[in-house]
Structure 1
Amino acid sequence: MTLLSPYLLLFLLVLPALWWLVRAIPPQPRQQRFPSLILLRTLAPVRQNAARTPLWLLLLRMVALSLLILAFSRPLYIPRQDTQAPQKLILILDDDWAAIPHWAERQQNALALGEATLRSGGHVTLLLNAPDSDGHMPHPFQPSDRVALQQFLSGLSPRPWPGDRQALARQIQELTPDLHDTTIVSLSDGLAQTDDDALRTALRSARRIDDIRWPRCDLIRLAIRQDRQLTAQAETLPNCPEQTLRLSGMTLEKNGHFLPQTSAPLPTGTRHALKDLLPDPDSLDAFSLPSVPGPAGMILLPGRTGQHRVGLLRTSGDDTPLTGSSFYLARAMQATTPYQEGTLDSLLPRHPDIIIATDGSLSGSSLGDMLGWVRKGGILIRFAGPELARQSQQDMKGDDAALLPVPLLSGMRQLGGPMSWGNPQKLAPFPANTPFAGLTIPDDATISRQLLAQPTDDLSHHVWATLTDGTPLVTVRQEGRGLIVLFHITPTADWSSLALSGLFPQMMERLITRTPVMQNRNDTARTSSDSLAPWRILNSDRTLIAPSPAVRPILKASEESVDALHPTGLYGGAAQRYPLNLADHQPPLADEVALGQIRPAGQAVPERPLWPALMLLALGLILLDVFLSLARSGLFRIARRAALVLCLGLLGTASLHAATADQTASAPQAVPPAALAIRLAHIQTGDSATDDAVQQGLEGLTRFLNQRSTTHLDSPVGVVPGQDDLAFYPLLYWPVTPGTHLDDAGRAALKTYIQHNGMILIDEMGAGSDMDGTDGHATRAALRAATEGLPFPPLTTLNDQHTLSHTFYLLHEFPGRIAGQPVYVARQGSDESEDVSPVIIGNADWAHAWAVDQSGEHPFAVIPDGENQRTLAYRFGFNTIIYALTGNYKNDQRHYPEMLKRLKNGDDSSPDGTDESEAP
Structure 2
Amino acid sequence: MWMIGPLGFTAPLILTALIALPVLWFLLRAIPPAPIRRRFPGVALLLGLRDEDAEADKTPLWLLLLRACAIAAAIIAFAGPVLNPERGNTASDAPLLIVMDAGWADARDWPRRIERAKVLAEAAGRAGRTVALIRLTDPPEAPVFQAAGVAVSRLSGVQPQPYAPTDLAGWAAAMPQGAAMETYWLSDGLAHPGRADLLAALEQGGPVTVFESPRAVLALQPITFKDGAVQIAALRLPAGGAQELEVSARGLDPAGIDRELVRATLSFAAGANRAETALALPPELRNRLTRFEIAGIRSAGAVTLTDDSLKRRKVALIGGGADAEGLLLLSPTHYLRQALAPVAELIDGGLSDVLLASPDVIVLTDVARLTQAESDSLLDWLDNGGLLLRFAGPKLAASDIARSATDPLLPVRLREGGRALGGAMSWGDPKTLAPFAETSPFFGLPVPPEVAVTAQVLAQPDPDLSQRTIAALADGTPLVTRKAVGQGQVVLFHVTANAEWSNLPLSGLFVQMLERLAVSTRPTQPEAADLAGQTFVPERVLDAFGTAGDPGSLPGVAGEDLAAGLLGPTLLPGLYAGEERRIALNVISADTELQAAVWPERIRIEGMEARQEQALKGGFLAAALLLLLADIVAALWISGRLSGRLAARLAVAVLAFGLAAPEARAQDDAFARAATSEVRLAHVVTGDARVDEVAAAGLRGLGLRLFERTTIEPADAMAVDIERDELAFFPFLYWPVTADQPLPSVAAYQKLNQYLRTGGMILFDTRDAGLSGGSSPESKRLQLIASALDIPPLEPVAADHVLTRTFYLLQDFPGRYAAGIWVEAAPADAEQAEGMPFRNLNDGVTPVVVGGNDWASAWAVDADGSPMFPVGRGSGGERQREISYRFGVNLIMYVLTGNYKSDQVHVPALLERLGQ
Same fold, TM-score > 0.5, yes or no: no
- Report the TM-score, using the length of structure 1 for normalisation: 0.44
